[in-house]
Structure 1
Amino acid sequence: MADKASFQVIVLGPTGGPREDNVTGILVRSISTKWVPNSVVAVDAGTMLAGIIRLLEQYGPDAKDDEGILQDGPFKGLELPFETAQANAAHVFREIIGAVLITHPHLDHISGLAINTPILEAGSGPKPVAALPSVLSAIKNHMFNDVIWPNLSDEDGGAGLLTYQRLVEGGNPRFGSGDGRGYVRACNGLLTKCLSISHGRCRQRFHPETGTHHRVGSTVFAADQLMLPSRAISVDNTDGSFYSPARSPRLLPSNPKESIMATVESSAFFLRDHRTGNEIIVFGDVEPDSVAQEPQNKRVWETAAPKIASGILRAIFIECSYTDAVNDAYLYGHMCPRHLVAELKVLAQQVLDVRESNQTDRKRKREDTGVADGSNDLSPRTRRTQSIAGLRNRRPETTSEPRTRSHLRDSIDNISEDPMGLGPIEGVDPLADLETPNPVQWANADPLPLAGLSVYIIHIKENMTDDPPIGGQILSELQAHSKEAHLGCEFFMPNPSEGIWI
């Protein structure tokens, strides 16, 4: 597969805890770059050096040829200039990893970045850390702040080992063209575009001095925020539960009206191979739109669908932290199999819509433009039915807001108020299956809507018991749901000891 692949992905940390040495960290490179300097991007850095060392120790010095090139394992083809795994891992971090993309600022996604960064003193220039502005604001104010950890950035008089790259949400339209519009350079051979997604909710405290809530947009982190120890953080979907099992009454506001619930911002990174144009998506922690305060996943699916339909988007790396046994109230802004498959059903419908639109466009090009389509001969009742169908399939002009029943109700009602007095159309529900696509309608599609798409499951919450690893149960539930939904995609649990070729 490596001969035909565009990407190699190494999952250093496939879990969401509680073990600190195995949390989220992913390396991605374009195959075309052949391990040249700055040819790898890290997506999240809960685990970085520890994971690299573990793999290099597994494929030790005996796996190198006479020129020092590794002959086996996920780092196959990489020249290792040193003898020990520790020294070679430091070399990879300093020279081969060109940038670190951070999806959101929770510790299981950034702790390795803090602990590992001091070794960059022997490197060549600051390491770019790229993320949405809210994420970098959190890292700057609450980690690299000379309190929790030294300020190792090149801002505010820091040590200059890191440099912050603030990404434009949804992509920067000034860069690229065509399918690549909005993408910016991530490292040698890779481009990226970042979309905001929701990772649950947080409780925010009313500031007694300013009389305002600390919130900018959809995130809990303001652009120039000082450290505010009075904030109580929660990513639960219930008012009474906190992310940590240990609750502190001291953090609760004395007056419930003094707190509001705001969305915790996470990210989905589209990564594009500069040579082939092929893409993958790597999600940060994410919750389903069905329970989100600010549903945003559909924007990602709308962006992904044309790429899947054309065959350039090959794989999605997305979390599925718990099994279906977990109630929605205790997902803490995460996914479980029933919700992940429900999200993929939305993606499947988007892909089918794109295919149908493409087929219609091709048909129109073949038709003689001088031939009337006969639409004026349709009865008012038929035209009204087609109008309703058009509303079902029409994309909203602004994709930041999901298409829901409430968004279309006014338009549907306008159709219902038929000036000819035809009344309701029997057997037609204008909003049927709008929010949850019915997989029966594509059960016989050839190919199935997500055929050829690989879905890799990350951020599994380990059970830490004598029971079998929970990943097997999550994978089994996903496969069962997917088979029933006729999606056509394949699910995988990444093996950290192997490179994934895409």
Structure 2
Amino acid sequence: MRDIMTKAKWLLTISLFFVSSTGLQAETDDTSPAFELVVLGDSGGIQDGNLSAFLLRSVTEPNYVALDAGTLVNGINQSVRQGAFDDLAIVDDDKWGKAGSILRHHVKGYLISHAHLDHINGMLVASPEDSKKSIYAIPSVNTMIGETYFNGKAWANFSDRGIPPLLNKYHVVDLLLGKTAPIANTALHVTAFSLSHPVESSAFVIEHGDDIFVYFGDTGPDIVEKQDKLDAIWTYLAKQVKHKKLRGVIIETSFENERPHNLLFGHLTPELLMGELRSLATKIGGEKPLQGLNVVISHIKYTLAKNVDPRANITKQLDDGNDLGLNIIIPKQGQKLLF
């Protein structure tokens, strides 16, 4: 067991990390974990069975919200096999197996960052056997989902708005930017922010009491995109952490540092991510304000090219550039994490 022993004025101190059969676990020296995260899909790009998707819940309840849904059923099955749900009191349903019960009874809604297929495909293909629940997204994302997928051509309209016939399985909820809304059938609340991407993407600040967890969809850096969208999120978080605990962040790092800025297509590199997090640190102020912050890296682009390992290269570049004292986590599909 590795003793981390780090402190920060504004976030939970993380002290012990260890690897178990269910994944990376975290213990704290002053407070028990507040959130559980299950990694359904950790990659970006073309690996269709392992695309961006996570399940998040407060440890005080058995109900999850999905953070994107690029891979859903395969991710749940992989997580079941790795024991990620062993501590969950799963609803006993005579009709459905374990994965079906988790999806139908314990996943209470979807937070969809944007409507690219690698972030929504799992929800679409699982919809015939899914249960009724809500899709939460900013208005442009919900509009694109309806026009592109739930249109009776690409896919039947399982939602309650848009092109008829409406199957009314999914209730579509528009999240207004910067306005906090409840996530139905959970104790969680969410505030959405816009991100720069070829189609509008979004970030979600998720709260349970005084605890915060942040999920970023695909995003380009402000220095490239020139829209200051990440700056708006950093400003918001810098205010929030004065009286709340930031338990963790999921944020993408799609490409290696060598990727030219004109070929980023609304994504981050390790160097650009560190630059953005330094902006957050500056807004918070003080010495090492991000020391010990859990940063989960998502959307590393998978490739079929020979003798190329983007995950290893990006991991090294992140470690080499980590002058903020971050606890960088490279997740694996099927893993459970506690924050």
Query: Normalised by the size of structure 2, how large is the TM-score?
Result: 0.86
1:13, distance to aligned residue in structure 2 (A): 0.6
Q: What is the CA deviation profile of residues 359-398 of structure 1, one whole-angstrom value per residue up to 9, with x for unaligned ones? A: xxxxxxxxxxxxxxxxxxxxxxxxxxxxxxxxxxxxxxxx
The runs of at least 4 consecutive aligned structure 1 residues that moved more than 4 Å come to: none
Query: Does the 8 A contact of 2:115 with 2:145 survive in 1?
Result: yes
Q: What do residues 334-382 of structure 1 show as CA deviations (whole Å, max 9, x unaligned)?
A: 0001110110111010010xx6xxxxxxxxxxxxxxxxxxxxxxxxxxx
Q: 2:90 aligns with which of 79, 82, 97?
A: 79
Distance in structure 1 (CA, Å) of the matches to 2:240 and 2:326: 15
Q: Which residue of structure 1 lines up, in the alignment, with residue 151 of structure 2?
A: 145
Output the CA distance in 2 between the equivalents of 1:99 and 1:315: 20
- Looking at structure 1, the residues matched to 245 and 74 of structure 2 have their Cα atoms a distance apart, in angstroms, of 33
Tell me which amino acid in the other structure corresponds to 2:84: G
CA distance in 2, matches of 1:94, 1:83: 13
Which structure has more strand as a fraction of its residues? Answer: 2
The structure with higher relative contact order (CA 8 Å, sep 6+) is: 2
Answering whether residue 257 of structure 2 is matched by residue 328 of structure 1, we say: no
Alignment-mate amino acid for residue 6 of structure 1: A
1:288 lines up with 2:288 in the alignment: no
Structure 1 residue 476: deviation in Å? 1.4
What is the distance in 2 between the residues matched to 1:133 and 1:75?
36
Residue 55 of structure 1 pairs with residue 79 of structure 2: yes
Pick aligned residue for 1:116 from 113, 117, 126: 126
1:46 to 37, 46, 70: 70
Decide whether the 8 Å contact of 2:90 with 2:101 is kept in 1.
no
Cα 1:48–1:75 shift into 2, 3 Å: farther
Q: What aligned pairs does 1:31-430 form with structure 2 within 5 A after superposition?
A: 31-33=59-61, 35=62, 39-56=63-80, 58-59=81-82, 72-79=83-90, 81=92, 87-120=97-130, 123=131, 126-155=132-161, 156-171=164-179, 182-185=180-183, 187-199=185-197, 235=198, 264-274=199-209, 277-310=210-243, 312-352=245-285
CA deviations over 1:190-227 (Å, ceiling 9, x no partner): 1111111111xxxxxxxxxxxxxxxxxxxxxxxxxxxx
Question: 1:163: how far off?
Answer: 1.1
Residue 290 (structure 2) pairs with residue 450 (structure 1)? yes
Separation (CA, whole Å) in 2 of partners of 1:265 and 1:17: 18
Q: 1:308 and 1:475, CA in 2 relative to 1: closer, same or farther beyond 3 A?
A: farther
Q: Which has the larger share of helix?
A: 1
Q: What is the CA RMSD across the aligned residues, in angstroms?
A: 2.0
Secondary structure at the counterpart of residue 108 of structure 2: strand
Kept in 1, the 8 Å contact 2:75–2:334? The answer is no
Q: Deviations over 1:283-332 (max 9, x none)?
A: 00000000104231000000111334545112110000011111111111
For structure 1, the 5+ residue unaligned runs are: 60-71, 172-181, 200-234, 236-263, 356-444
Distance in 2 between residues matched to 1:301 and 1:186, nearest whole Å: 27
Q: CA separation in 1, counterparts of 2:290 and 2:240? A: 11
Residue 132 of structure 1, CA deviation:
0.4
- The CA distance in 1 between the partners of 2:184 and 2:195, in whole Å, is 20
Distance 1:351 1:341 in 2: 15
CA contact (8 A) 1:170 1:193 kept: yes
Q: Evaluate the alpha carbon distance shift between residue 106 and residue 97 of structure 1 in structure 2; reply closer, same or farther with a 3 A threshold.
A: same
Aligned to 1:5: 33
Is contact 2:39-2:79 (8 Å) kept?
no
Does structure 2 conserve the Cα–Cα contact (< 8 Å) formed by 1:8 and 1:499? yes
Q: Deviations over 1:245-279 (max 9, x none)?
A: xxxxxxxxxxxxxxxxxxx31101001114xx200
Q: Distance in 2 between matches of 1:137 and 1:306?
A: 31
Question: Alpha-carbon deviation of 1:131?
Answer: 0.4
Structure 1 letter corresponding to 2:318: L
Tell me how many residue pairs correspond in the alignment. Answer: 309
Larger Rg: 1
Tell me if the contact between 1:475 and 1:492 (Cα under 8 Å) persists in the aligned partners: no
3-state SS of paired residue (1:281): strand
The aligned residue for residue 15 of structure 1 is 43
